[in-house]
């Protein structure tokens, strides 16, 4: 929880993140995994994501949150053959 601006708690940052228009409109939110770990703690963040009924994925140091309850699918071309490790 280092480097928090003065007068900001992890709870205030969670409120800021989940109070954005993207979240209210059911869009997609992207945040740095490093920042999430530093400001909130990853477990706290993931618990809040799931408490809201959202889903999240992590790739290349970024956490993507789908701020709705719609299904999430991995898209692949029909003509290509991929192993399970490619998803």
Give the H/E segment covering residue 37.
Answer: helix 33-39
Q: What is the DSSP letter of 22?
A: H
The domain segmentation of the chain, as residue ranges, is: 10-69
Task: Report pLDDT digits (tens) over 39-80.
Answer: 888 999 999 999 999 999 999 999 999 999 999 998 889 886
pTM to 2 decimals?
A: 0.76
């Amino acid at each position: 929880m280092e480097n928090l601006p003065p007068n900001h708690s992890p709870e205030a940052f969670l409120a800021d993140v989940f109070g954005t228009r993207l979240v209210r409109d059911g869009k997609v939110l992207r945040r740095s995994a490093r920042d999430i770990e530093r400001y909130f703690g990853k477990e706290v963040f993931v618990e809040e994501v799931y408490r809201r009924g959202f889903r999240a994925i992590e790739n290349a140091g970024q956490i993507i949150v789908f701020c709705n309850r719609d299904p999430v699918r991995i898209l692949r071309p029909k003509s290509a053959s991929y192993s399970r490790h490619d998803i």
